[in-house]
């Protein structure tokens, strides 16, 4: 173990971190040789094709031997061009074959640049008043000051709130804790229709885009939208001339059993932001895909896209991404995500049957989660001082399973969840191992909780 407060700054000042030494498949190994299941897929929902796949580092090494970096203001390069072709060929719905791709570094960069693109698109069309970005409470779109402003994760917003250019928020599509206290489908998707209300309140002439995650990850623990939600959103955006941005940073690259999470709804976004699984964590890379006619507005105005970083479209990262995507497709990992996802849902319901603190099981493909409640009938959350999801995470870690604890599902401040996103190569036997460890971790914590 190593304490975080020596020279390197870690996420926690108190936690003792094992030193990871190597990784293979779904497993991580520390210096002492202890094995852990990578149940969170990194921090989080990153590791798609699994650890230790030689194809990716070999492709990166081959590119690095040619050249590792080039001045973007002076050159393009083959890995970027080839990756753009591959991405457009795999893009969802009407974006397939009808889009262009911008490469950047992180998921936060991708959502930030997607918003920048939406803004510039309207300015170049002579509508500079369209600047607002509507998002959802309990949504998360990145950790920069700008991205946190249009995110809805209360805990990560609070400290920096005075610095934001504030954005309008609407309630989340979250049936388990419906913000309107209604029931699907008799609710008639009031959560989706709230977008129209917000647009009318702000004035459509002031709204540039609506951004949403197909499955809400970091703040809600794998909550998919109800059937018909994104179809309604798409119709509202079209009616009021609002661009729809799909945040696929977590849900892209086969995670949900489709290449893109939004594909489950049959809806095509105008702009799509993605990262994480594009390289499966072997190297940082992110992207923005947008309809060809969106980019054409900038091109016609002779207005270069007003975004970019030094390491955008890094050649070594692009080469690694091509190898990772080809491995994902060639080994049919989306189908495995579907099958193992169904196995996970069944196993979690079994855990729910004999642990009363488990209130909900949810997810899509290999992005799934649990919510822990004090009272299953009323769905009352535990008091935050009990730190239920954090304690389950710690118990699981001792038993050899890495989880991703979440909080804030209820009104942004209450609620305990665990998010899972194991590598897409996970087998049926390995999934059973993950579920068995989780069962033991929940039992250990449940036995120590106070009883009313």
pLDDT of residue 116: 98
Exposed, middle or buried by CB within 10 Å (0-12, 13-18, 19+), for 232?
buried
- Rounded Cα distance, 82 and 313, in Å: 11
Q: Which residues make beta-bridge pairs with 368?
A: 363, 420
Confidence check: pLDDT of 1 > 80: no
What strands, in cross-sheet order, belong to the sheet with 401-402?
A: 20-24, 27-30, 35-38, 401-402
pLDDT of residue 157: 86
Reference 276, options 232, 319, 324; nearest CA is 324
Mean pLDDT over residues 398-405, rounded?
98
Residues 337-380 pLDDT 10s = 999 999 999 999 999 999 999 999 999 999 999 999 999 999 99
pTM of the model: 0.96
Domains (range + CATH), the chain: 20-49+332-446 (3.90.1150.10), 57-330 (3.40.640.10)
Mean pLDDT over residues 17-46, rounded?
96
Residues 139-180 pLDDT 10s = 999 989 888 888 988 888 888 888 888 789 999 999 999 999
Q: Which residues make beta-bridge pairs with 2?
A: 17
Reference 220, options 371, 375, 376; nearest CA is 371
Confidence check: pLDDT of 412 > 90: no
- Rounded Cα distance, 139 and 149, in Å: 11
pLDDT of residue 2: 58
**CB-facing half-sphere around the CA of 215: CA atoms within 13 A:** 30
How high does pLDDT run on average in the chain?
A: 96
Q: Specify the 3-state DSSP secondary structure of 124.
A: helix
Reference 143, options 119, 116, 167, 164; nearest CA is 164
Q: Scanning the structure block, which residue is given the tokens 């939004």?
A: 262
Model confidence at 130, in pLDDT bands (50, 70, 90)? very high
Confidence check: pLDDT of 29 > 80: yes
- Rounded Cα distance, 211 and 107, in Å: 14
pLDDT of residue 14: 84
Mean pLDDT over residues 201-215, rounded?
98
Mean pLDDT over residues 66-82, rounded?
95
Q: What is the DSSP letter of 95?
A: G
Pairing of strands 367-372, 358-364: antiparallel
- Rounded Cα distance, 379 and 418, in Å: 16
SS (H, E, C) 134-192: EEECCCCCCCCHHHHHHCCCHHHHHHHHHHCCCCCEECCCCHHHCCCCCCCCCCCCHHH
């Amino acid at each position: 173990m190593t304490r975080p407060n020596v020279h390197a700054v870690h996420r926690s000042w108190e936690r003792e971190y094992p030193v990871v030494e190597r990784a293979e498949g779904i497993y991580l190994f520390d210096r002492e040789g202890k094995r852990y299941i990578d149940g969170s897929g990194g921090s989080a929902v990153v590791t798609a094709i699994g650890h230790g796949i030689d194809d990716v580092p070999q492709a990166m090494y081959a590119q690095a031997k040619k050249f590792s970096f080039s001045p973007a203001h002076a050159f393009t390069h083959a890995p970027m061009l080839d990756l753009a072709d591959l991405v457009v060929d795999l893009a969802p719905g009407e974006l397939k074959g009808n889009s262009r791709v911008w490469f950047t570094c992180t998921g936060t960069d991708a959502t930030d640049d997607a918003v920048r693109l939406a803004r510039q698109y309207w300015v170049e069309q002579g509508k500079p008043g369209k600047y607002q970005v509507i998002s959802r409470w309990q949504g998360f779109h990145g950790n920069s000051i700008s991205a946190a402003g249009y995110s809805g994760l209360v805990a990560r917003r609070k400290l920096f709130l005075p610095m934001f250019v504030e954005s309008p928020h609407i309630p989340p599509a979250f049936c388990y804790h419906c913000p309107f206290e209604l029931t699907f489908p008799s609710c008639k998707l009031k959560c989706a229709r709230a977008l129209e209300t917000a647009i009318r309140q702000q004035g459509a002439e002031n709204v540039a885009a609506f951004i949403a995650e197909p499955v809400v990850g970091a703040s809600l623990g794998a909550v998919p939208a109800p059937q018909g939600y994104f179809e309604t959103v798409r119709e509202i955006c079209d009616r009021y001339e609002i661009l729809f941005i799909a945040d696929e940073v977590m849900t892209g690259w086969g995670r949900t059993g489709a290449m893109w999470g939004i594909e489950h709804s049959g809806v095509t976004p105008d702009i799509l932001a993605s990262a994480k699984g594009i390289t499966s964590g072997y190297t940082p890379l992110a992207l923005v895909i947008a309809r060809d006619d969106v980019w054409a507005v900038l091109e016609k105005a002779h207005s270069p896209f007003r975004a970019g970083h030094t390491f955008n479209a890094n050649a070594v990262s692009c080469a690694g991404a091509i190898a990772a995507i080809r491995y994902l497709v060639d080994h049919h990992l989306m189908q495995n995500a579907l099958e193992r996802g169904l196995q996970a849902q069944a196993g979690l319901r079994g855990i729910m049957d004999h642990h009363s603190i488990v209130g909900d099981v949810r997810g899509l493909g290999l992005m799934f989660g649990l919510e822990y409640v004090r009272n299953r009938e009323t769905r009352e959350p535990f008091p935050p001082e009990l730190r239920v999801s954090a304690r389950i995470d710690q118990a699981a870690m001792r038993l050899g399973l890495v989880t991703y604890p979440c909080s804030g599902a209820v009104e942004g401040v209450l609620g305990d969840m665990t998010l899972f996103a194991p590598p897409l190569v996970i087998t049926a036997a390995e999934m059973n191992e993950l579920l068995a460890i989780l069962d033991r971790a929940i039992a250990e914590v449940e036995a120590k909780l106070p009883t009313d």
